[in-house]
Amino acid sequence: MAQLSSAASSAGALARHNGGKKSGLNVKAAQELAKQKALERKAQKYKLPLGELAIFTQQLASLLTAGLPLVQCLEALQDQTEDPCFRIIIRDVRLDISSGNSFSSAVKKFPNAFNSLFISMVEAGEASGGLAEILGKVASYFESTVKLTKKVKSAMTYPIAVIGLAVALVNVLLIFVIPVFAEMFADFGAKLPAPTQFLIDLSDFMKAWWWALLLGCWVGWWLLGKYTATPAGRRQKDQFLVKAPIFGNLIHKIALSRFCRTYATLIRSGVPILRTLEIVSAASGRVQIEDACTDISRHVSQGGQVSEVLAANPFFPPMMKHMVKAGESTGNVDGMMTKISDFYDVECEATVAALTSLIEPMLIVFLGVVVGGIVMAMFLPIFQLGAVAGGLQ
């Protein structure tokens, strides 16, 4: 009986152990399922970075050129993609194609991941039978855009970091250092020099109302964002950016380069000109380009030439107008647009290099004036210590 009781106890313990283990597995499976569903919901609105899209497009073009079927290419890219959301997107596109739909209709279901340029180029590639070749052109376009964007961002990183450091340093001086001097100067019992008194008053304000200042900056930034999201505000913002000192010329050249390269890539791939203008307008990011595309589309629909609209628009420089006109006369508009884009890419690189060389000494002078001015203002009473302490001022 004792042996039977012991065996029963062991069996019960084993059953409880297995039940607990099975329950743990069920919880883990439920967590994995919830995580997968969350990723699938996120994938529906996932915005793929342009750099990742460029890599995907280049790899897909290479696999198609090697002769692999499209579904097999997508399966290979799905396996090697590290981004979980993009892996789900590729999987859904592959399954959609396997069920009989076209590649273009499958990627249209993810407009945030695949931009209008990519979708239109895929449609052109399917219509012409040269999908691999057209995807290669799209990949080159994306890579050149990413390369230019990285150069501009790298040039802006240094001044932004230095200005941020300067702001932090000034705030530290105003909130923590200047009050110590203020207490010392209060014992003098005399009128302080105007620069010193101004810094002390500013320090008192920062200590008492720093939260209001931060809140005001945040509210101002939020209101500015809301206003620039409206059509009128966006137009004023774009006009200001193009005419802004120092950086306005660079922004103008980048907009012209993007306009020309996008136009040339689409036209060379066989996309109709009116559809090309729609995509160029959407991809430009500048109201000046959007207005020009609308005018060109209307003018071309009436039998006119692109160069005629560019000649009447002050946003486009004379050199560009003459080159486009020459391209129309020789039937090589896309080639001329590519040359113009290459020219402005070189100009942008030269402008970025010049700005980098110019900004560095300007920032050094700026920091010297700000920090040196604060130090001089606080030591000015000490320089005049005999007069101030004696109450002679």
- Residue with the larger pLDDT of the pair 374 and 393: 374
**Mean pLDDT value across residues 8-29:** 57
Report yes or no: 277 and 295 within 8 Å, Cβ to Cβ: no
**Mean pLDDT value across residues 314-341:** 89
Give the torsion through C-alpha atoms of 301, 306, 309, 314, to 10 deg: 150
Kindly tell me if the per-residue pLDDT of 52 is higher than 50.
yes
Q: Which amino acid is at 105?
A: S
How far is residue 64's CA from residue 69's CA, in Å, rounded to a whole number? Answer: 7
Domains, the chain, ordered by start: 50-114 (1.20.81.30), 141-393 (1.20.81.30)
Question: How long a stretch of residues is the chain?
Answer: 393
pLDDT digits (tens, 9 = 90+) for 372-386: 888 888 888 777 665
pLDDT at residue number 3: 47
How far is residue 244's CA from residue 344's CA, in Å, rounded to a whole number? Answer: 19
**Mean pLDDT value across residues 102-108:** 89
From the list 323, 339, 320, the residue with the least C-alpha distance to 268 is: 339
Tokens encoding 253:
């050249």
Q: CA of 17: how far to CAs of 3, 12, 21, 22, 101, in Å?
A: 21, 8, 6, 9, 50
Q: What is the mean pLDDT of the chain?
A: 83
- Residue with the larger pLDDT of the pair 334 and 31: 334
How far is residue 196's CA from residue 193's CA, in Å, rounded to a whole number? Answer: 5
The model's confidence at residue 295, banded by pLDDT at 50, 70 and 90, is: very high
**Mean pLDDT value across residues 138-155:** 84
pLDDT digits (tens, 9 = 90+) for 107-121: 988 888 888 888 888
- Residue with the larger pLDDT of the pair 391 and 202: 202
Kindly tell me if the per-residue pLDDT of 28 is higher than 50.
yes
Report yes or no: 76 and 63 within 8 Å, Cβ to Cβ: yes
The model's confidence at residue 18, banded by pLDDT at 50, 70 and 90, is: low
How far is residue 60's CA from residue 48's CA, in Å, rounded to a whole number? Answer: 16
pLDDT digits (tens, 9 = 90+) for 207-250: 888 888 889 999 999 999 999 889 899 999 989 988 888 788 88
pLDDT at residue number 245: 81
